Amino acid sequence: MREAPIGLVGAFVAERPYLSIGVLAPALTALGVVGARQAGSGAGETIALLGAVAAALLIAPMAIAALAPRGGIWLAGFATLATAIAITCVAWDAGMIASSVNIPAPPRPVVLAAFAYFIFLLALAPLARNVTRLGVLASFGAVLGVAGAAGYLALEGFLGVSGGAVAVTLGLTVGIGAGVNVAADFSNFFTEGENRRRAAAAAGHSAVASSVFSLMALVVFFLTYSVTVNAGAVDVRLVWAGLTVSAAAIATGLVAVVGGLVLSDINEKAALDENRRRQWFAARWRPLRRALPATTAIAFLAIAGIFVVIAGFEVGVSAPLRFAVFILCLCIAAAISFVSVRTSTLIAVILAASAVLSDFAMAFLGVAAPSTEDRFAALTLGAVALGALTVSWRDAGETWRNARDIVENALSDGLRRYLFIVGAGAASFFAAMQALQWPGALSALIYFLMVALISLILAPPAMTAMSARRGR
């Protein structure tokens, strides 16, 4: 068996988990405290509120879902208990339940959003149960990283404006995404026979490429965002602040999961769960596999291309030149990060088509379209999610040669990453909307979910067509 490659980052964290976590956590905590004190004007209360809301929306649902039983009556009882707790919190906030404890009730919107995210994770369990359990520390790390870096946002004066809220949303999502990628890669390497420490180190190394793409995509976004909100000028302070938040979240998310995996008592049951998950997906994917040969995939893409052209003429594209440059820069970032022109092309084509179709769908449904800068924020998260999906397609193409086999193995590994990032992104949008000032957060959230849905529909036929082309 060929050993999994181990890079500098994965090896360092796997060999020194206490040191890695012990340096990052106090440093980020100190940054948050110092930033809050220096900024003043209620910055400390804002950062504390952000941390509390993010913990309720991201940490609690993932931690509770990681404890869920596999199925049957125990899972039904577990879900019923969680539902009862959510209903009790809502009734408490509505004043329907008297409390003798002088503790404020959790806000209903936060409780309902956290419960919705929990249900999403439960529904995702057959595909991603092992990732939820192995990567549960990703949410802790991402929230810690963003809360600490929020002190820097406060120092620069961005915490109370839309730019700071966007930076927090992107940071929370990419931080959780980095940890989820580590957990997914660990399950793969551990199932293939690597020991726990080496599998964790290799997983940390494998997650670097996706993390680099996330950071490069965020640089592209903040440059575009800065030009948009500053009438053509680039605000280097905003770009650097946004990048700092995301880098802190990615670092803590990655280190927390790698270190946690090394220190956890993981046995062969993790490999058994991964094998069962692959069998479950193969059985569910088989009907679509039969219905999607290369010829059908190409025909589907041709029809989709016609719809994209019609949508472009009917609704148009907001800031078309800036949109084209944005997609091109994301394509270049993906090519550099993943060392694959085919992967970067796939990301760019799917994302551009999804953006145009989402604009048309929102206009057709009468939903208010987000502003240009909020639209680019949603597309950036869409690109990050597609990066996690398409890198699995790239890796599957190195092992399998039949187009249908490539797509099946790519989706078996990448779909869980994609859906996890989409769910975390939606929860992060809501967290920023509740804790910070971002008037366009709701329309940006709707647009992001629409882009994610259309991208998910377009990805399998696009992968099949490109895999068949490569095979010939």
Round to whole Å and give the CA distance between 8 and 12: 6
Round to whole Å and give the CA distance between 355 and 345: 15
Per the model's pLDDT, the better-predicted residue between 168 and 316 turns out to be 168
Round to whole Å and give the CA distance between 208 and 230: 32
Round to whole Å and give the CA distance between 133 and 187: 11
Residue 318 has a pLDDT of: 76
Residue 101 has a pLDDT of: 62
Neighbours of 38 (CB within 10 A): 11
Q: Is pLDDT above 50 for 472?
A: no
- pTM score: 0.93
The candidate with the shortest Cα–Cα distance to 58, out of 110, 114, 112, 109, is 114
Tens digit of pLDDT for each residue in 345-398?
A: 999 999 999 999 999 998 888 888 888 889 999 999 999 999 999 988 888 876
Q: Is pLDDT above 80 for 104?
A: no
Residue 4 has a pLDDT of: 65
Q: Is pLDDT above 60 for 67?
A: yes
Q: Where are the domains of the chain?
A: 8-471
Residue 99 has a pLDDT of: 63
Residue 249 has a pLDDT of: 94
Residue 225 has a pLDDT of: 87
Per the model's pLDDT, the better-predicted residue between 10 and 339 turns out to be 339
Per the model's pLDDT, the better-predicted residue between 157 and 324 turns out to be 324
Query: Rounded mean pLDDT of 402-428?
Result: 92
Residue 54 has a pLDDT of: 93
Exposure on the CB side of residue 154, measured as CA atoms within 13 A: 26
Tens digit of pLDDT for each residue in 5-20?
A: 777 777 888 888 888 8
Q: Is pLDDT above 90 for 335?
A: yes
Round to whole Å and give the CA distance between 254 and 179: 5
Residue 326 has a pLDDT of: 93
Structure token digits, residue 183: 């957990």
